[in-house]
């Protein structure tokens, strides 16, 4: 049998994990749930010298509300997010998106931060986080803490701005205004265990039927999950119930994305799906109650 790694560490404190990552920075990989990392190791000739498993670190397992921001730690599983009262109350569309990842078994071990760090353009958890204007917190033994907008953190398929000596400790976003609404929609090739052909998330404030501060995120239609500023500008200060507006916004999203043909779908089909999903999300936003988690 071929060994896929040489050393596997299971630290129980953040300090210990940071020291290990720092010492082995040239050949280390962090593992949280392992649902992406272990699959990637199945590829022929895959080898990682040192793995640091962060799943036993209690400091990373919390969902907290501080200074009007919600923080989700790097050790929080997708199942814990689905069940979190804080998430279900303030951002039910994040719970809905997370519920659509993999299967219950996957969600019981996989983390939202792992979904972000893996930087798949189709990652379902990333889209509501982009629509919520999230920030990623990175920590290293030698350089301390830094924060970065998620929109800048994702730089390409499988590529992020995380340096080798850094650990992502969490993602955070402002507690949404009481007038805020959010929506997430996904199309895949089957109903479960389903990587998105395209996915869309939109967050906005609704003031007397008028949209303010909208953020539109599209997935699986570019090298990273992406925001569409032109479409956001066209939506702001408009009535969401006017068909002309929803047509314009969904057309701008379709024009603003850069899908490719692959084994799941053609680029042309993905554009059509994006248009339909944006319309569906906008319709959801106009409903008086936020979407409950599925
Ligand atoms: C059967 C199956 C179905 C799936 N279905 C879906 C789906 O429907 N939608 C979807 O979006 N995804 C899906 N996935 C992918 C995967 O489950 C998710 O991306 C999951 O959220 C990854 O989390 P994890 O904790 O398992 O990450 P891991 O595999 O532990 O890590 C993923 C990557 O992130 C890095 N990393 C993790 N945590 C940190 C950290 N704190 N700091 C720095 N780097 C870190 C790791 O080094 C690795 O490169 C599926 C996977 C499988 C196996």
Residue nearest to atom 21 of ligand 1 (CA): 115
For ligand 1, is residue 158 a contact (CB within 6 Å)? no
Q: DSSP secondary structure string, 100-159?
A: TSS-HHHHHH-BHHHHHHHT-TT-TTHHHHHHTT-EEEEEETTTEEEEEEHHHHEEETTE
Q: Is residue 245 within 8 Å of 236, Cβ to Cβ? A: no
**CB-based contact 181:235 (threshold 8 Å):** no
Closest ligand 1 atom to the C-alpha of 54? 41
The response to whether residue 29 sits with its C-beta less than 6 Å from ligand 1 reads yes
Residue nearest atom 9 of ligand 1, based on CA coordinates: 101
Instruction: Decide: residue 192, CB within 10 A, 0-12 exposed, 13-18 middle, 19+ buried.
Output: exposed
Nearest atom within ligand 1 for CA of residue 138 = 42
Whole-angstrom CA distances from 114 to 98, 146, 151, 162, 265 are: 12, 18, 16, 12, 25
Q: For ligand 1, is residue 25 a contact (CB within 6 Å)?
A: no
Residue 209 alpha carbon to ligand 1 centre in Å: 38
Q: Whose CA is nearest to atom 50 of ligand 1?
A: 102
* Predicted local distance difference test score (pLDDT) of residue 27: 95
d(CA 155, CA 105) in angstroms, rounded, equals 29
Ligand 1 pocket member 114 (CB < 6 A): yes
pLDDT tens-place values along the chain, 294 residues long: 577 899 999 999 999 999 999 999 999 999 999 999 999 998 878 899 999 999 999 999 999 999 999 999 999 999 999 999 999 999 999 999 999 999 999 999 999 999 999 999 999 999 999 999 999 999 999 999 999 999 999 999 999 999 999 999 999 999 999 999 999 999 987 776 678 999 999 999 999 889 999 999 999 999 999 999 999 999 999 998 888 999 999 999 999 999 989 888 999 999 999 999 999 999 999 876 555 555
What is the distance in A from the centroid of ligand 1 to the CA of 181?
Answer: 27
Contact 200, 277 (CB under 8 A): yes
- Separation of alpha carbons 103 and 14, rounded Å: 29
Model's pTM, two decimal places? 0.96
> Which atom belonging to ligand 1 lies closest to the Cα atom of 39?
53
The SS3 call for residue 252 is helix
- Contact yes or no for 54/74 (Cβ under 8 A): yes
Contact 176, 203 (CB under 8 A): yes
Whose alpha carbon is nearest atom 23 of ligand 1? 114
């Amino acid at each position: 049998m071929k060994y896929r790694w040489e050393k596997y560490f299971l630290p129980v404190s953040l300090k210990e994990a940071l020291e290990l990552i720092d010492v082995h920075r040239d050949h280390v990989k962090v593992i949280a749930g392992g649902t992406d990392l272990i699959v990637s190791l199945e590829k022929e000739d895959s080898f990682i010298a040192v793995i640091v498993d962060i799943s036993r670190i209690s400091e990373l397992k919390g969902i907290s509300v501080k200074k009007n921001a919600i923080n989700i730690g790097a050790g929080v599983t997708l199942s814990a997010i689905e069940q979190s009262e804080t998430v279900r109350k303030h951002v039910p569309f994040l719970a809905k998106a997370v519920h659509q990842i993999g299967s219950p078994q996957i969600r019981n071990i996989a983390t939202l931060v792992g979904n972000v760090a893996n930087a798949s353009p189709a990652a379902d958890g990333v889209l509501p986080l982009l629509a919520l204007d999230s920030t990623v917190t990175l920590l290293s033994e030698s350089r301390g803490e830094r924060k970065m907008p998620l929109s800048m953190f994702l730089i390409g398929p499988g590529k992020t701005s995380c340096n080798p000596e850094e650990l992502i400790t969490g993602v955070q976003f402002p507690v949404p205004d009481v007038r805020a609404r959010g929506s997430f929609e996904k199309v895949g090739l089957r109903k479960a265990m389903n990587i998105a052909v395209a996915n869309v998330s939109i967050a906005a404030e609704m003031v007397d039927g008028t949209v303010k501060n909208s953020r539109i995120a599209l997935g699986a239609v570019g090298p990273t999950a992406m925001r569409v500023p032109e479409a956001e500008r066209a939506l702001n200060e408009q009535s969401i119930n006017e068909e002309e507006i929803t047509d314009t916004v969904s057309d701008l999203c379709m024009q603003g994305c850069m899908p490719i043909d692959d084994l799941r779908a053609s680029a042309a089909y993905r554009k059509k799906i994006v248009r339909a999903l944006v319309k569906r999300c906008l319709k959801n936003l106009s409903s008086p109650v936020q979407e409950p988690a599925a």
